[in-house]
Amino acid sequence: MTTVTQISSMSQVPAVPQIPAILPVIVFMGDSDDNIIDATDRRDHVFGRGGNDTLNGLDGNDLLEGGAGNDTLDGGADHDVLRGGKGNDTLIISDGDDELTGGGGRDVFRFDSVFISGTSTITDFSAKKDVIQLDRSQFFILPPNGSVDYLPVGKLAARHFHIGAAPGDANDYITYNAGTGDLFFDRDGTGGFVTQLIAKLPSGLDMTHNNIVIS
């Protein structure tokens, strides 16, 4: 593991709060080794390059690029752009209207929380290779008997996945609208609890329950 320090800063550009586009950008560059890079609470551009890297953007509107290798990217709060690059990457969906691109390989798009502000867009989700991973403690369900329950770890059961504009029955917890690409979570399917838009995927995908994993 290589320790990475901030290698360059363009912070000599004066910050003008009214014009975010010219706020300073702080750049972090990994190397061919496995790097763990914790950026700053400001606007960062973080490049992991080769190796299996862990990139944390923290606050600010960040750009994270994993490059080659199996990388884990977490944009943190605010509006981030995450690009996994080659390899089997894990991209974490966090607060802000993030834009996530897995790139090549089998990528995992992970929710650690169900209480996320904003709606992230996954630009290149592949129904053949990629999965959405949901934390079972966050994505608990509300069966008709009034209890609180947890989905078993592993792939979502087929009966809990639905294609359509809204859940079709009481145990449709995940719904994909193939016309719009919207992906919904609903703790009680057609019951009274709110249907929550959790991500925007490409439209027209051949999504199945196999694309949803409970962890």
In the complex with Ca ion, the residue whose CB is nearer, 84 or 167, is 84
Q: Are the C-beta atoms of 55 and 22 separated by less than 8 Å?
A: no
Least distance to Ca ion, CB of residue 58, Å: 4
Q: Which is nearer to Ca ion, 58 or 116 (CB)?
A: 58
Q: Which is nearer to Ca ion, 24 or 164 (CB)?
A: 24
Query: Does residue 178 sit in helix, strand or coil?
Result: coil
Task: Provide, rounded to whole angstroms, the least separation between the CB of residue 87 and Ca ion.
Answer: 4
- In the numeric block, the tokens 């016309």 are attached to 179
Nearer residue to Ca ion within complex by CB, 90 or 175: 90
Neighbour-count burial for 67-103, b at 16+ CB within 10 Å, e otherwise: bbbbbbbbbbbbbbbbbbbebbbbbbbbbbebbbbbb
Give residues in contact with Ca ion (CB under 5 A): 30, 35, 39, 44, 48-49, 51, 53, 57-58, 60, 62, 66, 71, 84-85, 87, 89
Tokens of 97: 């209207």
**Closer of 85 and 181 to Ca ion (Cβ):** 85
Supply the minimum distance, in Å, between the C-beta of residue 69 and Ca ion: 5
What Cα–Cα distance (Å) separates residue 95 from each residue in 57, 75, 78, 107?
A: 12, 8, 6, 20
- Shortest reach from residue 178's CB to Ca ion, in Å: 28
Instruction: Report the distance separating Cα 82 and Cα 44, nearest Å.
Output: 12
